[in-house]
Structure formats: C-alpha cells, structure tokens
C-alpha cells in the first residue's frame, strides 16, 4: 500500500480514486463498513481504493486534556487498511492551521486538487472543516458542485448497539472483552515496546516481557490468556496487568489510588531469546483471575503454573471468529 504524507501532485498509479475519509481509530466494524464500501466502489469504477486519515488525533491538538486513549497506533491503522484491500493511504498532518480550513477549502485542496477523487465514502456522522461545520450533507453538496460522487454509510450495529470507538474503550476498561471484541471484530489489543524488568519472573520460572504501553486501552487488573505478536510472529501466552502486590509493601488498591499505571507483564509460550527493545502487540482473549497478593514467591510460582494451564486451555477453546495465530501475525 502506498502512503502519502504531504501535498505533491497525485502519485502515479492513483487512478479514479475512491476515498474513504475518517480517523478510523481501532478499524472496528463500523470503520470496516466504510473502508469496504470504498474498496467495492473502486472495483466498480476500476480505480484506486484510498483511505484519507489524520495524524495526530484532532483532540491532541485542539484539546489534549480530553484526548482518549487510542485503540491502535497509526502504523497498525495503516496495516489494517491494507488488510482490508485499501491500495493507498493519505495521512494528513493535523495542525492548528489545518483545523481552521473551511469545508470548501479542505475539499478543493485535498480531495479535488491532490487526490482528484472520483468518489468519496464517509460515515453518517462525519464532520469536517473549521469548527466541525461540515457534515456528510455538506460534502454531498460540494461533490455535486465539484464533480465527485459521495456515499454515506449508515451505523453498524451489533445486537442493537452502534459500533463506536468510545463505546469500545469503555467496554475494555470495565473488562467486557467479549462484547468489545464483537464491536471490534477481533480481540482488544494494546501495543508498545518491551522494556527491561526486575527479572523476578525469570527467577520464578516464568520470564516476562514487560510492555511500555503506547496505544490501546488496558483492561482491569488481573491475569489474562493472551496472544502476542513480535514482528510477524505470534505467540500464545498469559499476561499480568497490575501492581505485583506480592513484591510490594502496599496493596494493589493503595497503588491504584495513588494513580500509578498498572504494569503489563507478558509470558509467551514457546518464545526463545530476548525481545527487549522490540515492539509487541498483545491481544487479550480471556480474564483468568484477579490479581492478588501471595504469602511467598513460591506460592506465586505454583499459581503461575495453574494460570499457564488455564491460559493454554482457554486459547484452545476460544478460537475467536476470524482470529488465529497466523492471521494475528499477518494482519494485526
């Protein structure tokens, strides 16, 4: 997939562009409906399916204190586009000067002059331009005037509820992983870089990869069956999200009230060698138990053995629709 990040003339090979526009944080089922419509229309007109997205998130510029935790990073967003059949992506830098553009100027400068779009696909709640003054209706009127067709995709509902990023964040944060996955169309994930830890896990017989989380919403404190990707290879495993109360003087509740961020410690089955410094994506498949304090390191080690057996069993039984170790490694 070709990625464009500035405003040159349209790159060679981008013909009869059908552009899906949105932030697409999470590339959840609602987003996929928009992207799939762009792919379908591009095939109908024998053109190029493109995604127009923005980075950073608009709230990071306009109201940083209200910026939500993003469900996935920009690189994974782009990878998700490619997996769905999008052939080109235009990542527009979101700056204060950009957010002052009127809807007409945005359309003429980016869609008409740069991409020379033939068709555009947006969601029903699409807003654009200074002060979010433009809507899907505005876009359709500009399309009629400037010579491109606009398709508006309605909400995607799962069991009567609309797939939306804000709903998915809340579900993950309260531990409703199965329901969050039904909106995402895949398991909930976090991602970041592996950092060096204290080495306690190795001494207990369960070496861990400690993740510095850069994107994704953490589920509640506890032990989880997981699948994790390093590079293009995926591993089953288990993770502890929490405060390691067995090795702390304070309880997990006290540490949480102090505002400390829970640690994420992944133990991957079959992993050989070091992954320090490498990027990792962790998918949460099932919560096995809450985190608790043990009377000794030995008692914790015995519990970890039980956790590992339960995690392996859960991973074998779950097999979420559309999800496997192979597909996780390739697409997510």
pLDDT digits (tens, 9 = 90+) for 119-155: 999 999 999 999 999 999 999 999 999 999 999 999 9
In a domain? residue 164: no
Does the pTM surpass 0.85? The reply is yes
For residue 222, the model assigns a pLDDT of 96
Mean of pLDDT over the chain: 89
Query: 249 falls in which pLDDT band (50, 70, 90)?
Result: low
For residue 273, the model assigns a pLDDT of 85
> 210 pLDDT exceeds 80?
yes
40 and 117 part of one domain = yes
Among 138, 158, 178, where does a domain finish? 158
Residues 39-81 have pLDDT tens digits of 999 999 999 999 999 999 999 999 999 999 999 999 999 999 9
In a domain? residue 175: no
147 and 196 part of one domain = no
The Cα–Cα gap between 193 and 282 comes to 11
93 and 143 part of one domain = yes
Q: What CATH number is attached to the domain comprising 220?
A: 2.40.30.30
153 and 191 part of one domain = no
Q: What CATH number is attached to the domain comprising 21?
A: 3.40.50.620
Identify the weakest region by mean pLDDT among 49-58, 69-78, 188-197, 311-320: 311-320
300 and 231 part of one domain = yes
Q: Which residue has the tokens 């740069």?
A: 114
For residue 14, the model assigns a pLDDT of 82
Question: Within 10 Å of residue 99's Cβ, how many Cβ atoms?
Answer: 17
In a domain? residue 169: no
Identify the weakest region by mean pLDDT among 28-32, 186-190, 195-199, 254-258: 254-258
CB-facing half-sphere around the CA of 35: CA atoms within 13 A: 27
For residue 197, the model assigns a pLDDT of 72
Mean pLDDT of 232-239: 92
Query: What separation in angstroms does the CA of 2 have from each of 39, 80, 82, 291, 330?
Result: 15, 13, 9, 44, 18
The Cα–Cα gap between 219 and 228 comes to 15
The Cα–Cα gap between 212 and 191 comes to 8
> 8 pLDDT exceeds 80?
no
For residue 297, the model assigns a pLDDT of 86
* Domains: count for the chain: 2
Q: What are 175's two structure tokens?
A: 């531990």
Query: 257 falls in which pLDDT band (50, 70, 90)?
Result: very low
214 and 141 part of one domain = no
298 and 197 part of one domain = yes
Cβ pair 71, 25 in contact under 8 A:
yes
213 and 310 part of one domain = yes
In a domain? residue 168: no
Among 142, 158, 174, where does a domain finish? 158
Domain that holds residue 280: 187-331
Residues 86-114 have pLDDT tens digits of 999 999 999 999 999 999 999 999 999 98
27 and 69 part of one domain = yes
The Cα–Cα gap between 8 and 109 comes to 11
Query: 10 falls in which pLDDT band (50, 70, 90)?
Result: low
In a domain? residue 178: no
21 and 91 part of one domain = yes
200 and 297 part of one domain = yes
User: What is the DSSP code (8-state) at residue 114?
Assistant: I
Three-state secondary structure call for residue 183: helix
């Amino acid at each position: 997939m070709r990625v464009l990040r500035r405003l040159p003339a349209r790159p060679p090979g981008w013909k009869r562009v059908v552009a899906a526009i949105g932030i697409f944080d999470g590339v959840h089922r609602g987003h996929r409906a928009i992207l799939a419509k762009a792919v379908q229309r591009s095939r109908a007109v024998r053109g190029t399916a493109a995604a127009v997205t923005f980075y950073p998130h608009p709230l990071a510029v306009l109201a940083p204190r209200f910026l939500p935790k993003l469900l996935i990073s920009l690189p994974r967003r782009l990878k998700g586009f490619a997996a769905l059949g999008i052939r080109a992506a235009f990542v527009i830098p979101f700056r204060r000067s950009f957010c002052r553009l009127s809807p007409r100027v945005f359309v003429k400068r980016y869609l008409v002059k740069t991409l020379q779009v033939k068709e555009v696909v947006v969601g029903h709640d699409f807003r654009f331009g200074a002060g979010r003054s433009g809507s899907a209706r505005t876009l359709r009127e500009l399309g009629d005037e400037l010579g491109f067709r606009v398709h508006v995709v309605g909400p995607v509902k799962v069991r009567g509820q609309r797939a939306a990023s804000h709903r998915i964040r809340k579900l993950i944060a309260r531990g409703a992983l199965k329901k969050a996955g039904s909106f995402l169309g895949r398991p909930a994930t976090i991602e970041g870089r592996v950092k060096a830890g204290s080495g306690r896990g190795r001494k207990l017989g369960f070496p861990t990869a400690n993740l510095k989380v850069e994107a994704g919403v953490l589920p509640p404190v506890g032990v989880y069956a997981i699948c994790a990707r390093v590079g293009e290879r995926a591993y089953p495993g288990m993770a502890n999200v929490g405060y390691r109360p067995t090795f702390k003087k304070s309880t997990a509740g006290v540490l949480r009230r102090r505002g400390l961020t829970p640690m994420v410690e992944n133990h991957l089955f079959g992993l050989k060698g070091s992954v320090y410094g490498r990027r990792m994506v962790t998918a949460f498949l099932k919560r096995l138990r809450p985190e608790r304090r043990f009377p000794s390191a030995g008692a914790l080690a015995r519990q970890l053995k039980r956790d590992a057996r339960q995690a392996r069993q859960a991973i074998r039984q779950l097999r979420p629709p559309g999800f496997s170790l192979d597909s996780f490694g390739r697409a997510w």
